[in-house]
Amino acid sequence: MKYNFDIVLKDVFTELVYSYAADEQVCFRLWKEIETKYSSKKRYYHNLSHLNMLLDHLTAYRPIIHDWDTVLFSLFYHDIIYNVTRKDNEEKSAALATKRFQQINYPELQTEKCRRQILATRTHDPEDDPDTAFFIDADISILGQKRHVYEEYCRQIRKEYSIYPDIIYKPGRRKVITHFLQRERVFKTDVFFERYEIQARENLQWEADNL
């Protein structure tokens, strides 16, 4: 299973890059960087499986996404830098994406849009941009999955933060949960709201009660 979706992700990414830089070596080098980063042994949730989930969700709404290429680039680069001891992962991921886009001559306006989409994953409060809203909702769609899937997600996140004892981890995690529960809507887009909102709130409250 892991091998199969890795192949899909690689094909999608290399085709995307090749449309801007028709250089197989560049495509290969950029993909290997992504594959290596997301395959780190320290990643239990923010890995290639997460990218595959995002791709599945976003592909379902491709006809109503305006700038598909930029959303795809945001997908591949939004967690490329992921260090649980730092608070600037999104900034570093956006900066690396910008640097890579310069190498393939990706348009400046789209580069800026991608940068903003990546930065929006820090608070998951998207701007009034439809594509960004879809991207952010897809990124947090795990919150609205069935309880057993959500429970596994909680375990994976805890493993990623295993360097922190409960006395530090639990208050931080509770802060994240409260952020979502206090929002008027967890999901900004109507399609994600209608499909996942109720389950997401139930899952978040369950986790809060069991921390």
pLDDT digits (tens, 9 = 90+) for 1-59: 344 556 799 999 999 999 999 899 999 999 999 999 999 999 999 999 999 999 999 99
What domain count does the chain have?
A: 2
Global pTM reads 0.94
Do the beta carbons of residue 120 and residue 8 sit within 8 Å? no
CA distance 33 to 97: 11
Percent of all residues in the chain with a pLDDT value above 90, rounded to a whole number: 93
Based on the fold, state whether residues 129 and 197 are members of the same structural domain. Answer: no
Q: Are residues 23 and 121 in the same domain?
A: yes
Which pLDDT score is estimated for 1?
36
Identify whether residues 20 and 122 lie together within a single domain.
Answer: yes
CA torsion, ordered 132, 121, 61, 151, to nearest 10 deg: -160
Domain finish residue from 139, 164, 181: 139
Longest Cα–Cα distance of the chain, Å, equals 52
Q: Say whether both 11 and 24 belong to one domain.
A: yes
| 92 close to 105: Cβ distance less than 8 angstroms | no
Domain assignment of residue 132, given as a range: 2-139
Does 151 share its domain with 88? Answer: no
Q: What would the mean pLDDT of 120-147 be, rounded to a whole number?
A: 92
Same-domain check for residues 22 and 58: yes
Choosing from 139, 165, 200, the residue where a domain stops is 139
pLDDT value of position 3: 40
Domain boundary among 139, 161, 187: 139
Q: Identify whether residues 99 and 147 lie together within a single domain.
A: no
Q: Are residues 63 and 90 located together in one domain of the fold?
A: yes
pLDDT in tens, 35-45: 999 999 999 99
Residues 69 and 106 in one domain: yes
Residues 13 and 46 in one domain: yes
